[in-house]
Amino acid sequence: MLSKSREKILVIDVGGTHIKILVTGRKEVVKFASGSTMNPARMVEEVKKAAAKWAYAGISIGYPGPVVHGKIVKEPFNLACGWIGFDFEKAFGCRVKLMNDAAMQALGSYEGGRMLFLGLGTGLGSALVAEGVVEPMELAHLPYKKGRTYEDYVGLRGLERYGKKKWRNHVHEIVDVLKNALQTDYVVLGGGNAKLLKQLPAGTRLGDNANAFRGGFRLWQAVETRATRKLPTALED
């Protein structure tokens, strides 16, 4: 495994508003705008420019959509099309591991037990980690109420539609619903908008966007299991 030889890993966190990158050994994250015109070829081109002075032997990509057996199975909701079937290893010229972006951040946030991760950003990312097994989830577009989805209430559109006060109330309500439904020990709230909460819902802790990169590095340390990966309760970073 690359971690044993201490090879450097480039982690790419793909979001609907920004794409962020970090390589092993560096602390400063580099980011650039994404949005509805961002396709995978352009993403690769922009990453290569931003990381031109960095050396790395492998890449982890956190993708904002379903990833099954390391392959993208659905086009992103907030980006341009063309991601399904794109050959990232050929484009980058090195080994690439793909993972759902929320699952990658969950992987970096995990501290044992049964954990639900919810990413409050442009959309709503979600992943469950149960006894070390990462289970990516797609809760965002499930119907919630009044013909709208969970993401419609607590994603960026919900924040803009309802305002901060009502948005916070919806976050508290939805966290309680999902925590009880999935019987989790705790919930981690990540994403750029999590910092807008004045008070955290019961049984939750605030995540850190940096955990997405931690998860990307951990991905190369993990042991194969089922459709995703199984991890020791504690991992060396």
pLDDT at 222: 58
* Phi, psi torsion values for 192, nearest 5 degrees: -65, -25
Report the C-alpha gap between 21 and 82 in whole angstroms: 21
3-class DSSP assignment, residue 204: strand
pLDDT at 6: 56
172-181 pLDDT, tens digit per residue, is: 999 999 999 9
| Sheet strands (E) in the chain | 9-14, 18-23, 30-33, 58-63, 67-68, 71-72, 95-100, 114-120, 124-130, 133-137, 143-145, 148-149, 186-190, 204-206, 223-225, 228-230
pLDDT at 18: 93
Report the C-alpha gap between 173 and 170 in whole angstroms: 5
Helix and strand numbers (H, E) in the chain are 6, 16
3-class DSSP assignment, residue 183: coil
**Averaged pLDDT in 10-residue chunks for the chain of 237 residues:** 65 94 95 96 98 96 93 93 98 96 94 95 92 90 95 96 97 97 96 94 92 94 45 44
30-71 pLDDT, tens digit per residue, is: 999 999 999 999 999 999 999 999 999 999 999 998 999 999
What pTM does this model have? 0.82
- Residue 119 CB coordination number (10 Å): 30
Report the C-alpha gap between 64 and 111 in whole angstroms: 23
Which residues does 158 contact at the CB level (< 8 Å), separation at least 6?
A: 151, 152, 167, 170
Which domains are seen in the chain, by residue range?
2-104+210-230 (3.30.420.40), 111-206 (3.30.420.40)
> Following CA atoms 154, 159, 162, 164 in sequence, which dihedral angle do they give, to the nearest 10 degrees?
110
pLDDT at 110: 95
